[in-house]
Structure 1
Amino acid sequence: MAYEFERKQRIAVLGGGPGGYEAALAGAQLGAEVTVVERVGVGGSAVITDVVPSKTLIATAEAAGAIASAGELGVQFSLKNSAGRQARPDVAVNLQAVNQRLRALARQQSEDMKANLLRVGVRVLTGDGRLDGENRVVVSAGHGARKHDFDEIEADTIVVAVGASPRRLPTAQPDGERILTWTQLYELDDVPEHIIVVGSGVTGAEFASAYSQLGSQVTLVSSREQVLPGEDADAAALLETVFIRGGMQVLSKSRAMKVERDGDEVVVTLGDGAQVRGSHCLMAVGSVPNTVGIGLAEAGVQLSESGHIRVNRVARTSVPSIYAAGDCTTFLPLASVASMQGRTAVFHAMGDAVTPTELRNVTSNIFTQPEIATVGWSQKQIEDGIAQGEIYKLPIASNPRAKMQGLKEGFVKLFARTGSGTVIGGVIVAPRASELILPIALAVEHRLTVDQLARAFSVYPSLSGAITDAARAMHIVN
């Protein structure tokens, strides 16, 4: 007697970054046969050259900054000189050791992620993948990779999660030594004497903040009126004030037209003809999706003018069997969003229950010092009439715990729906804002009112108490 068994659904994932990784895990969880194709290592650029190393560098910068400001709390550092007298020690950053550590952490994280995939039965291939129609992926061995016995993967569902790369300008070509992209910073042996950061978006602001705390002289070239265009205006203005107070030179409304190397220096030529000289230059002028030459258009996948893959809220492309996740798509370029897209794509493809991604519920964070965390509707959208809401802003300096820690810069800002008091958004500017924003994110996700948020017991004293204090101040009278 012959038995027929239902064939497992086959899923091919191009790219092993946050989106591809989570897609693979979700597929394995639902019993699919999953193959991941990744050319640089599981975790992709997010783990190996972007998020993990950059946030590790920023953590070191925060430690250096904490030492520098410890005197305000009465902490003094001293040592005995040869005469037995007290002397002030020099606090220095060993950038070579820092970079060795962060590269090791990135490699370890990549290996841990690969081990997780292998443990649940996912097949991981090293190489370059491209689409050959709607249901086939062709794999070619990447540089230095071993050749495989196969070069084609048949799939019922394909998830494209190939990420993005730093944008390069024709007039400012990185050389990996003095003119750098953010992926090349981790090869430096010494803290730059004077680093010029071109671009004042999230990446530029984060690295400008970090290198300033590490001891570099920093010049930030911004083509806009202030840093972080598009972010909360109060938060951006506060951060720019902190930058300038800390000795950073911020060149607003200045466009870098050309970056050249002159021996051991770099020369940045601005739109008005002025020149800025420094020891290094970081180009932080955005990114481009890695979607060229991988067969997307030939398979019928629609792309935007910028080359990003058009997807809907369940990460599906214009081709029913092809999904996409992460920085290569038209959604927000955040690792958390990529992960959610990857899971949503596979759940939808396999018929499991899904909740379409709601971008207004996405929490984002800028890892400057202080950090800036946001979720939900923005103040500008409220002021422009796009959303109906009330705004309340509470300075962090009024919080008891902040006073104890010597914190003066920052605030908690809540947005609540007019009439109902439902929390529709918020901004936190403070150390560890990335941790503090979660209660507001939960309130936005679950449509809690300011009164419900205020009824939660915050620890006294705590920075999170500023959130419940702000919510209490927005009490809705019944």
Structure 2
Amino acid sequence: MAYEFERKQRIAVLGGGPGGYEAALAGAQLGADVTLVERSGVGGSAVITDVVPSKSLIATAEATNSLAEAADLGVQFFSRGETGKPVRPEIAVNLAAVNKRLMGLARQQSEDMRAELVRAGVRIVTGEGRLDGSSAIIVSTSKDSGTDFDRVEADTIVVAVGARPRVLPSAVPDGERILTWTQLYDLQTVPSHLIVVGSGVTGAEFASAYTALGSKVTLISSRDQVLPGEDADAAHVIENVFKRNGMQVLSKSRAESVVRTEDGVVATLTDGRTIEGSHCLMAVGSVPNTSGIGLEEAGVQVTNSGNIRVNRVARTSIPNIYAAGDCSDSLPLASVASMQGRTAVFHAMGDAVNPIELRNVSSNIFTQPEIATVGWSQKQIEEGIAQGDIYKLPLKSNPRAKMLGIRDGFVKLFARTGSGTVIGGVIVAPRASELIFPLALAVEQRLTVDQVARAFTVYPSLSGSITDAARAMHIVL
């Protein structure tokens, strides 16, 4: 008697960033035959040239700031001069060593992720991939003998090709003086004067970091304030810190062009002003890597910006094709990409799945101090899009903040009017990325401010400000 065995479901993942990596792992976990196609290394740009190296650089900047501010806590650094008198040493940053370390960390993280996929049974193909209709990926691999092509048949395809820095024709990066954020890690010395064009998340983070590392920084912002679109109070705090630390912030200014000179760069603004610097970072957004990969031929719908349209389970207009990460039209966050990758595969394979609720996503801006947010915003409440009460508690009243010498920041809670259900929040503080978790949990689980207030926090702690703010919003029955 002959037996027919059910064939494993075949999943092909194009792109090995956070979304593609999680999709491949999820598929292997559920018993699928999974192939991952990646051109530069597992982890994609998020690990190799973006999130991991940039946040490692920021960690060095934070360490530099801690040393510089230690005197406020009574810690003083001195060495003995030739006369035997104490001399206060300068803080020096070896940027070549810093960049070597962080790129090593990025490579190690990529290798660890690759090893994890191999252990799970995922087949990894290195090369340039493009869709061949809705049921296969063609991979081109360069070899000494020429270009080889590999065809990966699939029942389900997950596209996770990420995005790249936007390049303006009037300020084309050369990798030496005019740079994108992926090119900063080739610098051997701290720029004497770094011009940053763009005051969004990327521009603000690097402007903050390089100020701490010792650069003179000029930040060109086309808006009224830095970090347009973020919580206004949070942006105000960050801009004040920037200026206090010596950064020049040019608000309502737009760069028309950036050109290289013999020993630096010149940025020309639309009003005719010019700014001379040693280097320029172009942080003017990103472009999805969706062009020329067969999406149109496969019938996959994209937006005018080239991002792939997806629904709440990361499905595209073609039923068996999903998309995850910065190439999709969802929030460009590594955490969202990872969730999309898992959700896509769970849905494709018929496993239990909770559609992604972007309102519950917490995000963080790694300036100093950090800005973390979750849920509805104050602007949406003030515009009537959401119904809520607002309470803001400055960190300067927190005993732990006083002990640590923290001067800037706050905890802000948003609670549904009447019920007291937590619908959002903003935290501006050192390590706000860690402090936001209780609020993210409260938003996800629909906890009330009274439920949050009843949780015991350590005394003294920065997290105590969260329960203090919740207690202040007590709902009287």
Q: Does 1:36 align with 2:32?
A: no
Matching residue of 2:267: 268
Partner of 1:72: 72
SS in 2 for 1:393: strand
Give 1:82 shift: 2.2
Letter in 2 for 1:273: G
Q: Deviations over 1:135-160 (max 9, x none)?
A: 01100015889966x61011000000
Question: In the aligned structure 2, how far is the partner of 1:90 from the partner of 1:272?
Answer: 39
Of the structure 1 ranges 166-175 and 139-148, higher mean CA displacement relative to structure 2 is found in 139-148
Question: Counterpart of 1:165?
Answer: 164
Structure 1 residue ranges, 4+ long, deviating more than 3 angstroms after superposition: 142-148
In structure 2, the residue corresponding to 1:397 is in which secondary structure?
Answer: helix
The code of the aligned residue for 2:96 comes to Q
Q: CA RMSD in A?
A: 1.1
Q: What CA distance in whole angstroms lies between the structure 2 residues aligned with 1:46 and 1:372? A: 20
**Alignment match, 1:418:** 417
Structure 1 residue aligned with 2:129: 129
> Does the alignment pair 1:119 with 2:119?
yes
Compute the displacement of 1:315 (Å).
0.1
Unpaired segments ≥5 residues, structure 2: none
Task: Name the % identity.
Answer: 77
One-letter amino acid of the structure 2 residue matched with residue 385 of structure 1: G
Distance in 2 between the 1:80 and 1:174 partners? 45
Residues 38-91 of structure 1 show CA distances to partners (whole Å, capped at 9, x for unaligned) of: 000000000000000000000000000011111000000001122222111121
- Matches of 2:189 and 2:422, distance apart in 1: 46
| 1:65-119 residue CA offsets vs partner (Å, 9 max, x unmatched) | 0111110000000011222221111210000000000000000000000000000
Q: Classify the secondary structure of the residue corresponding to 2:206.
A: helix
Asked whether 1:217 is paired with 2:210, we answer no
CA distance in 2, matches of 1:465, 1:141: 55
Deviations along 1:169-223, whole A, 9 cap, x unmatched? 0000000000000000000000000000000000000000000000000000000
Unaligned runs of 5+ in 1: none
SS at match of 1:293: coil
How far apart are 1:408 and its partner, in Å?
Answer: 1.0
Aligned residue in 1 for 2:83 = 83
Aligned twin of 2:100: 100
Q: Deviations over 1:386-414 (max 9, x none)?
A: 00000000000000000000111000000
Determine the C-alpha separation between the residues in 2 that align with 1:419 and 1:146.
69
Tell me which residue corresponds to 2:181. Answer: 182
Counterpart for residue 455 of structure 1: 454
Tell me which amino acid in the other structure corresponds to 2:110.
Answer: S
Q: Give the match for residue 356 of structure 1.
A: 355
Aligned equivalent of 2:26: 26
Partner of 1:398 in structure 2?
Answer: 397
**Residue aligning to 1:17:** 17
Matched-pair contact (CA < 8 Å) for 1:128–1:142: no
| Deviation sequence 1:300-323 (CA, Å, 0-9, x none) | 000000000000000000000100
Q: Which residue of 1 aligns with 2:321?
A: 322
Structure 2 length-normalised TM: 0.99
SS in 1 for 2:297: coil
Residues 26-48 of structure 1, C-alpha deviation per residue, up to 9 Å, x if partnerless? 00000000000000000000000
Q: Residues 14 and 37 of structure 1 are in contact (CA less than 8 Å); yes or no, is this contact kept in structure 2?
A: yes
Give the secondary-structure state (helix, strand or coil) at the position aligned to 1:317. Answer: coil
In 2, are the aligned partners of 1:39 and 1:142 still within 8 Å (CA)?
no
**Aligned partners of 2:184, 2:198: CA distance in 1, in Å?**
16
Letter in 2 for 1:250: V
Assess if the C-alpha contact under 8 Å between 1:126 and 1:142 holds in 2: no
Q: Quick one: distance in 1 between partners of 2:332 and 2:154?
A: 26
What is the distance in 2 between the residues matched to 1:245 and 1:475?
36
SS at match of 2:53: helix
Distance 2:194 2:444 in 1: 40
Residue 279 of structure 2 aligns with which residue?
280
Q: Counterparts of 2:79 and 2:196 in 1: how far apart (Å)?
A: 36
Name the CA shift for 1:144/1:467 in 2 (closer, same or farther; >3 Å). farther
Aligned residue in 1 for 2:141? 141
The 5 A counterparts of 1:241-252 are: 241-252=240-251
Partner Cα distance (1:453, 1:143) in 2: 59
Query: Matched residue of 1:141: which SS?
Result: strand
TM-score, normalised via structure 1 length: 0.99
Q: Distance in 1 between matches of 2:160 and 2:262?
A: 40
**Match of residue 464 from structure 1:** 463
**Structure 1 letter corresponding to 2:61:** A
Tell me the distance in 2 between the aligned counterparts of 1:82 and 1:231.
Answer: 52
Q: CA shift at 1:376, angstroms? A: 0.0
The structure-2 alpha-carbon separation of the partners of 1:199 and 1:212, relative to structure 1 and needing over 3 Å to count, comes to same
> Which amino acid in the other structure matches residue 276 of structure 1?
I
Q: Secondary structure at the match of 2:12?
A: strand
Distance 1:249 1:330, change over 3 A: same
Secondary structure (helix, strand or coil) at the match of 1:298 reads helix
Secondary structure at the counterpart of residue 297 of structure 1: helix
1:299-448 → structure 2 map (5 Å cutoff): 299-448=298-447
